Structure 1
């Protein structure tokens, strides 16, 4: 499956993403997407084939965005801890601003109603893991990070904290007085992100 899309394809993917998140995959028709995107149905079929293939492309489109930024992060002149902190901030920022796709993914993966071809998505996730491994290996070689790190569990630790917070949004809004969308998003960008960074740093580094 291709991982690069033209402007028209991106427009269709963004419209589909919003509709899938609002109405569900099964509740959204190709006709709905075409109407909202102000295009004809034939164009969607031309670009993506079926609705299932459109969903597969949407997942890859969002994953490709993070992969590119992680590739650039590896090349930055930062120490390993700064790179890990930036990686965490990147993950949380991208997920929080693209909640729609993760809502769709959660439903699709938990319901298993469709046999989606997610080979390209899996390859992108492997690439993301490789970027994380590169940063951690650099930190280990410099004596900053511990040797017994289970690298594949770092990402679920980062994402699990965010998703627990977001899935319990009403509780935390009341507890932390986050009574506006701006306050809620600012808290995620600052306090929650910093908490996750401190947690991961504690997992990776030697006790002082």
Structure 2
């Protein structure tokens, strides 16, 4: 699938992302997307073909630059622990800045029936997992990381923790004495990110 989109296509993708996140994928029609984008339905079909293909394009649009960042990180001249820290920072920042698409994928496509329709989603997951495996295998070869780590469980550990925290925003704002939404977002970028880094490294590194 193409990774470069023109200005009108990006406008449609962003509107679709907002509507999917607010109303659900099934609850959003191509007609509604076209109305919000102030174009006719035929134009959406011309650009994307179907609602499913539009969602696939949205996934590609939101993840293509992350692919490059993760692949570059895996070959950087850093030790494996530093790479893991930077990888988690990439994940947390990406989810935080793109909550809409990740919420759609996390909650709307959790069934086997729906997931099978989104081949591109599994391609993204497999690609990112391969880069993660490269980093962890390097750490294992150097005797830094444990050999019994279940690598495929690391991404859902990161994302599951993020979504639990994010979806219970009011509770955690009160619990952590975070007065504003800005305080909450700053907390994610600092202490929450550090907590995830510590958690993943605790899974990876041999106990001293």
Q: Same fold (TM over 0.5)?
A: yes
Q: What SS does structure 1 have at the residue aligned with 2:179?
A: coil
- Asked if structure 2 preserves the Cα contact closer than 8 Å seen for 1:56 and 1:116, the reply is no
In structure 1, the partner of 2:5 is 6
Distance 1:112 1:77, change over 3 A: closer
In structure 2, the partner of 1:128 is 128
Q: Does 1:92 align with 2:92?
A: yes
Q: What SS does structure 2 have at the residue aligned with 1:4?
A: coil
Distance 1:182 1:147, change over 3 A: same
In structure 1, the partner of 2:54 is 54
Cα deviation 1:163-195 (Å, max 9, x = unaligned): 121122111011112221110111011001101
Distance apart, 1:114 and its partner CA? 5.2
CA–CA separation in structure 1 for the residues paired with 2:94 and 2:20: 19
Distance 1:200 1:112, change over 3 A: closer
CA–CA separation in structure 2 for the residues paired with 1:41 and 1:112: 30
Distance 1:106 1:132, change over 3 A: closer
- Asked if structure 2 preserves the Cα contact closer than 8 Å seen for 1:56 and 1:117, the reply is no
In structure 2, the partner of 1:72 is 72
Q: What SS does structure 2 have at the residue aligned with 1:179?
A: coil
Cα deviation 1:25-76 (Å, max 9, x = unaligned): 3443323322332333222111111222212322333233422221121122
CA–CA separation in structure 2 for the residues paired with 1:112 and 1:143: 37
Q: What SS does structure 2 have at the residue aligned with 1:100?
A: helix
RMSD: 2.0
Distance 1:110 1:205, change over 3 A: closer
Structure 2: state its 5+ residue gaps. none
In structure 2, the partner of 1:34 is 34
CA–CA separation in structure 2 for the residues paired with 1:98 and 1:125: 16
Distance 1:116 1:39, change over 3 A: farther
| Count of residue correspondences | 207
Q: What SS does structure 1 have at the residue aligned with 2:28?
A: coil
Cα deviation 1:100-153 (Å, max 9, x = unaligned): 112222342247785762112211211111100000111112221122211111
